[in-house]
Amino acid sequence: MTINQLSSGDLIADRRADYARLLAESGELQGAAELMAQALELAPNWAAGWFRLADYEEKSGRKEAAIDAFGKTLRLNPDDIFGASLKLALLGAAETPEQPPSTYVERLFDDYADRFDEALTEKLDYSVPEKLAALIDRTSGRQRFRHVTDLGCGTGLFGERVRDRADFLEGFDLSANMLAKAEGKAIYDRLGQADLSLLPEASGLFGELAQERTDLASAADVMMYLGNLESVFLIIDRLLRPDGLFAFSVEKAAAEEGFVLRPSMRYAHAEPYVASLCAGHRLSLTAVEHTVIRMDAGLPVSGILFLARKEA
């Protein structure tokens, strides 16, 4: 369900919001904001409407008005399915969250699932699954894996590339719609819902499932939706068998340390930050590769691929 499909419950307010959307699509952002504000006079508790108004205000250059509308969105929707807290941080009105709201990430990919493969592979020249699989082939020294865990598996783009080398392949994702798409490909032996922003015991990755069960764990294009990666590395420490491998990617941060939130509402991570997490969680780096991972608005997005080995 997209933001434009979330009704206010008031027919006249919805109609004005529809007109506002048409104005915005034609580039008349100030007029769109004015009509959206009129709609909100009729439906003042409409969180999705406030988010749309904030978007129009931001794009028309009215920063303070956008901040006010994003703030109202967040107060009306504390679970933050729209990611208003990220927008406030980008506008300098709040601290950068350590993690994006899980509800926001889940809704984002639930909405994206039906067009995910086509959008990434045909329009954005997305290449992480192929490049990460190639990195494993070149540097791991292994031809086959007993147990592979694909974290943030999405629709299964990386799973497709490792299936013929895995005796058992499991995938986990936050989005139920993504998992349904992956299940339709019939490449995984087990699929489950999990939240990598949580500590291991709350993540959904263990429970009845064994710890230290995995020979190869992957996280292809997952870290940019996490920010602080401490929870992921705690999960990996518990998930991997001794001598197991962790293959993953990040968007490359220009900063020398830590992570940053970008206007795309994705996080980028610095190589020294990732290296320090590996060192602190019994992982030795086997390979590091700098590469372009996708296009965004016609521009290349720089990323880093990592392959790390858990100490025996």
Share of the chain above pLDDT 90, in %: 88
CA distance linking residue 272 with residue 254, whole number of Å: 11
Least reliable range by pLDDT among 21-30, 140-149, 231-240, 291-300: 291-300
CATH code of 3-95, in short, is 1.25.40.10
The answer to whether the beta carbons of residues 140 and 165 sit under 8 Å apart is no
What pLDDT does residue 190 have? Answer: 98
**pLDDT tens digits for 10-46?**
999 999 999 999 999 999 999 999 999 999 999 999 9
The token pair at 281 is 């969680």
> In the chain, where are the structural domains located?
3-95, 110-310
**pLDDT tens digits for 225-254?**
999 999 999 999 999 999 999 999 999 998
Q: Which of 183, 186, 307 is nearest to 247 (CA)?
A: 307
* Confidence category of residue 256, pLDDT binned at 50, 70, 90: confident
**pLDDT tens digits for 183-208?**
999 999 999 999 999 999 999 999 99
The token pair at 307 is 């392959």
Share of the chain above pLDDT 70, in %: 98
CA angle (271, 277, 222) in 5-degree steps = 70
Q: Has this prediction a pTM greater than 0.85?
A: yes
- Topology of 110-310 in CATH? Rossmann fold (3.40.50)
Q: Is the dihedral of CA 144, 146, 150, 155 positive or negative?
A: positive
Q: How many C-beta atoms surround the C-beta of residue 208 within 10 A?
A: 4
Above 60 in pLDDT, residue 3? Answer: no
CA distance linking residue 80 with residue 101, whole number of Å: 6
